[in-house]
Structure formats: structure tokens, C-alpha cells
């Protein structure tokens, strides 16, 4: 796949996946599938793609020799994206406050019960109530998921090192087909998610958070251009996963850049992990929506419990909207950014 054609294919697969649960023949749903089954399929696909990504990295001696560069790029991009996000949300909040005559946007409202399924397979949007001890347990619990997925990449990498170079196996082509299946089932998962906060999308202050998160992440990534001599498109795509590491990493790898894909996977994983640690502190500042912004695409699932526990129910609609907007943008935005030279 190449260029604009990639984006058309990915968009088509997402739309088909979203439409699949509603297809009927003779009044019967022909592709009806329980949400748990879709989650399980997504888990298996992601495990396979991450294992393949690690294998390609380890099996290519030139790529394996660049691990230090990949790690430095990943950590730098993660912290720059987070810093840019916080700065952009603070500035946009101040601007909104000034435009509204110093009152600022009203966010202390009663939140409806969340009903969204996670774009990250297996993530539970369990909304707890508790003190600092409960928040600490939540952080440790949520760190297990990225650690387990990192284990698949590491396992694939070790296999790639141990096994001889597989010159006759077109692993990139196999991964591309698996990636197509991933996008289809992601569309199906969004369709089955039951997201019901439609009214929240029409509130400017709710949309301001994901927009500021995008702008801030991209602004932070611009520092990577002189530091790592990256082209603009690659620097933007690197942070364009907004914390959704399992998708952004394999997207970039299977679109022809395994080094940048590996860096993106690690960068977005670091972003989510650091966000889990920062959210309780950011929620107590003058700008509590920064706690939502640092969560990025995960604010509708993985980081939602800690956001709720730290900032209260008023942040749930904002968090859901921000996570949904950012998650929906990743599959199309990352390939589009890679077209920029």
C-alpha cells in the first residue's frame, strides 16, 4: 500500500467494521458478534502484530543496532508531547476564561454513567471511588497492560535475534493483511461501544481538550526536527498515536518504517505510563482538564478510572469526548501525517 491509497483502505475498513454489526439479511444480523468476542479477536490480532514487529526488529541486524537511538527518540517524543499538551490546554483554558469574561467554562455538572468500550482491547472502564490508596492500586493495575504488550515485542525481538534471517518470508506483507483485519475490528468495536454521551460533543469546552491535546502534542514534536533530524511528517506521526501505542506502532511499521514504528510504540507506551502517574497531581491544579489531556486517546478507557478518582464526576464527559475524538483520529491521522515530507 502506498500514500493516499493507504488512507482510503484504512478508512474503508473502519467504516465497514462499524457498519458490520448493523447489516441484516432477511431481518437477521448476519455479522452479529458479542463485544467480548470482538475484544478477544482484537487482543489476538494485536499480540500477533506486536510479536511480528519485535521479530522484524530483532531479525534485521541493522535495525537491532539502532535500539539506543529508538529508545532516546521514544522517550524524548513522549515527554515533549506531554509538555506540549499541558501547555496548550493551559493556554486554551486561559483564552476561554478571557473570552467568557473571566468566568471560564462550567464543568461542574452531574455526569451520566459511562457506557463506552475501550479502543485498547481488554481495558476496563471501571469507575472507582476511593482515596490515594485506591488510586495507587489503579495505577499499578493499569501499568500491567502495557507491560504485557511490551513483553510480546520483547519476545518477538529475542526470537528475531535467535533465529536466522528469514529472507524468503515476506513478514511485512503478512503483517499488512493482519493490520487490515485490525482496522476492521476496531471499527466494529467502536460501533458496539454503546457510547451515549452525544450531547457532550456539542459543548465547546469538551471539544477544546482533544483539540488542544492534538495541537500541543504536535507542537512538542517539532523540537524533534533539529534534535534527531526527522522530517516533519515523521515527527508528527510519532506522537500522533496520542497514547494508543498498540495501534500507532504497528501502523507506522507496516506502512514502511519499522524503526519509527518501534519508537512510536515505545513513545506512546511511555506517554500512557507517565500520564497515570501525573493525573492525580494535575487534577488538583487550577487546570484540571490537563489531567484529561495527558491521558490522550486512553482517557475514555485506561486512564478514565484514575481521572474520575482524582478529578471527580465532572470530568467524565470531558474525558469520554476527548478519548473518543483522539481515538477516532489515530487510524487516519497517522498515515496522513506520514505523507508530509
Q: pLDDT in tens for each of the 341 residues of the chain?
A: 444 566 677 678 877 887 877 776 666 666 667 788 888 888 888 788 778 878 877 777 766 777 888 899 999 999 999 999 999 999 999 998 888 766 554 443 333 333 333 344 334 444 444 556 666 676 666 667 667 777 888 888 888 888 766 555 666 677 777 777 877 887 787 777 655 445 555 666 778 999 999 999 999 999 999 999 999 999 999 999 999 887 888 889 888 888 899 999 999 989 988 888 889 889 989 999 999 999 999 888 778 878 888 888 778 788 888 988 898 899 889 999 999 98
| Close Cβ partners of 153 (under 8 Å, ≥ 6 residues apart) | 50, 51, 53, 54, 57, 262, 265
Residue 113 three-state SS:
coil
In degrees and rounded to multiples of 5, residue 29 shows phi and psi of -70, 120
What residue ranges do the domains of the chain occupy? 35-178+195-338
Residue 28 three-state SS:
strand
pLDDT of residue 57: 72
Cα–chain center distance at 167: 32
Say if residue 147 is exposed, middle or buried (CB neighbours under 10 Å; 0-12, 13-18, 19+): exposed
Say if residue 202 is exposed, middle or buried (CB neighbours under 10 Å; 0-12, 13-18, 19+): exposed
How many Å apart are CA 124 and CA 305, to the nearest integer?
A: 9
How many other β-carbons are positioned within 10 Å of the β-carbon of residue 229?
8
Amino acid at each position: 500500500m502506498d500514500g493516499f491509497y493507504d488512507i482510503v483502505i484504512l478508512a474503508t475498513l473502519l467504516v465497514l467494521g462499524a457498519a458490520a454489526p448493523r447489516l441484516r439479511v432477511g431481518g437477521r444480523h448476519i455479522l452479529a458478534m458479542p463485544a467480548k468476542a470482538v475484544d478477544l479477536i482484537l487482543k489476538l490480532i494485536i499480540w500477533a502484530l506486536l510479536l511480528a514487529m519485535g521479530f522484524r526488529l530483532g531479525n534485521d541486524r541493522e535495525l537491532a543496532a539502532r535500539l539506543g537511538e529508538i529508545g532516546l527518540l521514544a522517550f524524548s517524543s513522549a515527554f515533549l508531547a506531554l509538555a506540549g499538551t499541558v501547555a496548550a490546554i493551559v493556554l486554551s483554558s486561559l483564552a476561554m476564561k478571557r473570552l467568557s469574561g473571566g468566568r471560564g467554562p462550567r464543568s461542574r455538572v452531574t455526569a451520566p454513567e459511562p457506557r463506552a468500550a475501550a479502543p485498547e482491547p481488554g481495558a476496563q472502564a471501571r469507575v472507582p471511588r476511593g482515596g490515594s490508596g485506591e488510586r495507587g492500586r489503579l495505577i499499578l493495575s493499569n501499568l500491567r497492560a502495557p507491560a504485557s504488550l511490551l513483553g510480546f515485542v520483547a519476545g518477538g525481538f529475542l526470537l528475531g535475534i535467535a533465529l536466522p534471517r528469514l529472507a524468503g518470508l515476506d513478514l511485512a506483507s503478512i503483517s499488512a493483511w493482519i493490520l487490515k483485519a485490525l482496522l476492521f475490528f476496531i471499527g466494529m468495536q467502536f460501533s458496539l461501544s454503546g457510547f451515549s454521551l452525544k450531547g457532550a460533543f456539542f459543548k465547546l469546552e469538551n471539544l477544546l481538550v482533544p483539540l488542544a491535546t492534538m495541537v500541543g502534542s504536535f507542537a512538542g514534536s517539532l523540537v524533534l526536527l533539529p534534535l534527531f533530524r526527522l522530517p516533519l511528517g515523521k515527527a508528527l506521526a510519532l506522537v500522533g498515536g496520542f497514547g494508543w501505542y498498540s495501534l500507532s506502532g504497528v501502523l507506522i511499521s507496516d506502512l514502511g518504517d519499522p524503526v519509527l514504528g518501534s519508537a512510536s510504540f515505545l513513545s506512546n507506551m511511555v506517554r500512557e505510563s507517565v500520564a497515570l502517574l501525573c493525573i492525580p497531581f494535575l487534577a488538583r491544579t487550577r487546570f484540571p482538564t490537563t489531567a484529561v489531556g495527558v491521558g490522550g486517546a486512553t482517557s475514555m478507557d485506561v486512564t478514565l478510572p484514575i481521572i474520575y478518582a482524582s478529578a471527580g464526576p465532572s470530568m467524565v464527559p470531558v474525558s469520554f469526548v476527548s478519548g473518543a475524538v483522539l481515538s477516532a483520529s489515530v487510524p487516519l491521522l497517522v498515515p496522513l501525517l506520514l505523507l508530509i515530507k
